[in-house]
Amino acid sequence: QKEVEQNSGPLSVPEGAIASLNCTYSDRGSQSFFWYRQYSGKSPELIMSIYSNGDKEDGRFTAQLNKASQYVSLLIRDSQPSDSATYLCAVNDDKIIFGKGTRLHILP
Amino acid sequence: NAGVTQTPKFQVLKTGQSMTLQCAQDMNHNSMYWYRQDPGMGLRLIYYSASEGTTDKGEVPNGYNVSRLNKREFSLRLESAAPSQTSVYFCASSVERVNQPQHFGDGTRLSIL
């Protein structure tokens, strides 16, 4: 059974600090990884895609992929109250698997 | 550019009633999906359509049927609604089935009494 695991949280981070969200996956052959943000009562929205080992940066967001250790992480720099949401990690190759999400709370 | 449009946004049904959830995308995507999201369970794939003319079961297909009407439209039907089908339903689409990010509609909040 292929799985994607995330700590459910809540993860509380002071405004302006770096929020670090982690995700592990079970299928060593997985190739494509995605982070989605979901505000309460809203639909998931794509933040980052990452396919290769290493870091990928987009504005305040950095996705990190380590295939040898089978984890993918999302860093949010200069955290803002508007970043408070649930963050979903997903793998989409031969199967589509979403983690259950980590709730992030940015403290003003 | 609307993206992925779902109708209706809210619906209340009685046990045993049937209904169809509609989804349309205007991004010329090949693949479309239906998910349900329940508290503590995350997003679970019900059915997907990798391309026009094909449909496949996901993780939780029982009690549902789908139709890929054309490239733009993918509908989800509940033939005999049950309280266990109370959930938020999301439609999504992607350029291709594999290795591509998905774009989600706003969701349908469905309650079965």
Q: Which segments of chain A have a pLDDT < 50?
A: none
CB contact under 8 A, A96 and B40: no
Phi-psi region of B36 (alpha: psi -120 to 50; beta: other; left: phi over 0): beta
The position carrying tokens 């940066």 is A57
CA distance B32 to B40: 24
Mean pLDDT along residues B9-20: 97
**pLDDT tens digits for B24-49?**
999 999 999 999 999 888 899 999 99
Three-state SS at B21:
strand
Distances (CA, A) of B35 to A38, A82, B75: 14, 26, 12
Task: Please give the structure tokens belonging to residue B100.
Answer: 């591509």
**pLDDT tens digits for B54-93?**
999 999 999 999 999 999 999 999 999 999 999 999 999 9
Distance (Å) from the alpha carbon of B96 to chain A's nearest alpha carbon: 11
B102 interaction partners in chain A (CB closer than 8 Å): 34, 46, 90, 92, 96
B47 touches chain A (CB under 8 A): no
B43 touches chain A (CB under 8 A): yes
| Cis ω before B101 (30° cut-off from 0) | no
